[in-house]
Amino acid sequence: MMINRFNIKFRTLFWAAASLALVALLVFAFRPRPVLVDVGQIDRGPLTVAVRDEARTRIRDIYVVSAPVSGRLLRIGNRAGERVEAGAVIAIIQPGPPVLVDERSRQEIQAAVRSAAAAVELAHAELERAEAQLAHARIEAQRTETLFAADVASRSALDRARLDVRTAVAAVDNARAAIGVRQANLEAARVGLIEPGATGASRRSVTIRAPAAGRVLRVLQESESAVLQGAPVMEIGDPREIEVVAELLSSDAARIAVGAPVVIDAWGDGAPVRGRVRLVEPYGFLKVSALGVEEQRVKVIIDPVDPPAAWAAVGHGYRVEAAITVWRAEAVVRTPVAALFRDRGHWAVFKVEGGRARLQRVELAQSNGEMADVRAGLRPGEQVILHPGQSVVDGGRVRIRPSSLNRN
């Protein structure tokens, strides 16, 4: 009897202990585990807000040398990068060769030549007739003068004879001038029959001189070729007089002041170059981005401040990146932007306090994409969670990743 009671009591205690162990195991298995997080440190320090965008370099004054006349441009000896002095001969233009005419035009020209030759012969015949009339008028005038001296002819007859002589002289001069005109027309008609390459090189030429001292940027017509008047031949500029042009969104350009400091980089392996804004152009323009979005852009002109040796490797038309300062403070409370998120229309962060995440709303002033100026809500020395996910909740347990502590 006593043994049965002992067995019952033992079984009761055993199952009670097993139940408590199972409950403890379930509580331990399903209790919330701390979320592993990265943290950032709230500190006090300088903050710079800059507008950053792609830009390109250009020489301030570029001289585009053009052909002053149409003709045959001789081969240019200058190469890109060579230095030229003001007034130096950089190109020579000679008259172009005759053009090739088709058979129909050739026959028309030949007919014009024959017509002009016949007109010359007709003019010679007219000259002979005028000279014969002049000789006859002079004989008649001499006879009239003799009769007038003998009181046989009247004064009016003598005057008419002298008028006939002057008229005949004028007719001879007119006939001779007509021969010159007909001869010139014949020569003009024969010019149309000249074949290309039938004449030797003309000694007449036009020289093109450099308008200013500098370096050759581009040779647009390097080989010998026919050019038209006004065709660009060469570009000349001084690489030491370089500037940077950034095409910024109009909303960003409105924040930039003339004289703002600029950092120019991404132009090569060299160190960044300092610059300063010289001009924000007052005229905006529409530009379509690579994604097909229409954007209103404004050109901002930047002058390098560092000595020319610092950016000697940069030439005309190089791609660079310009970071233009629009705001700067020396001592502000800073928080990493990666810790910020929106909570019911307000900016907020998760602070780490006693191993738990605490939701904290903050007021921001300025941000540069990496750090933000906190006006209220945080103090230097506090830790905030970076990139908080859905698993981070207000009051939830968190555990800081060791690598995150090493970075801080």
pLDDT digits (tens, 9 = 90+) for 350-377: 999 888 889 999 999 888 889 999 999 8
Residue 134: what are its φ and ψ, rounded to 5°?
-65, -40
Segment 83-131, tens digit of pLDDT: 999 999 999 988 877 777 778 888 888 888 888 888 889 888 888 988 8
Q: Which residue has the higher pLDDT, 85 or 402?
A: 85
Segment 42-52, tens digit of pLDDT: 999 999 999 99
3-class SS of residue 80: coil
What gap in Å lies between CA 47 and CA 205, rounded to an integer? 65
- H or E stretch including 73? strand 71-73
Contact 96, 70 (CB under 8 A): yes
CA 365 → CA 45, 140, 261, 335, distances in Å?
Answer: 14, 118, 21, 11
Average pLDDT, the chain: 85
Contact 362, 377 (CB under 8 A): yes
Average pLDDT over residues 221-248: 90
Q: Is the pLDDT assigned to residue 268 strictly greater than 60? A: yes
Contact 93, 233 (CB under 8 A): no
Q: Which residue has the higher pLDDT, 304 or 150?
A: 304
168 falls in which pLDDT band (50, 70, 90)? confident
What gap in Å lies between CA 384 and CA 352, rounded to an integer? 6
With CA atoms as reference, report the closest residue to 41 among 404, 358, 401, 328: 404
pLDDT score for 32 = 62
* Number of H-type helices and E-type strands within the chain: 5, 22
What gap in Å lies between CA 97 and CA 196, rounded to an integer? 6
Instruction: Report percent pLDDT > 90 for the chain.
Output: 33
Give the length of the chain: 408
pTM of the model: 0.64
* Angle of CA points 283, 288, 292, to nearest 5°: 155
pLDDT score for 201 = 47
What gap in Å lies between CA 348 and CA 341, rounded to an integer? 6
Q: Is the pLDDT assigned to residue 75 strictly greater than 70? A: yes
What secondary structure letter does DSSP report for 31?
A: S
Average pLDDT over residues 334-343: 91
pLDDT score for 348 = 93
Average pLDDT over residues 286-296: 88
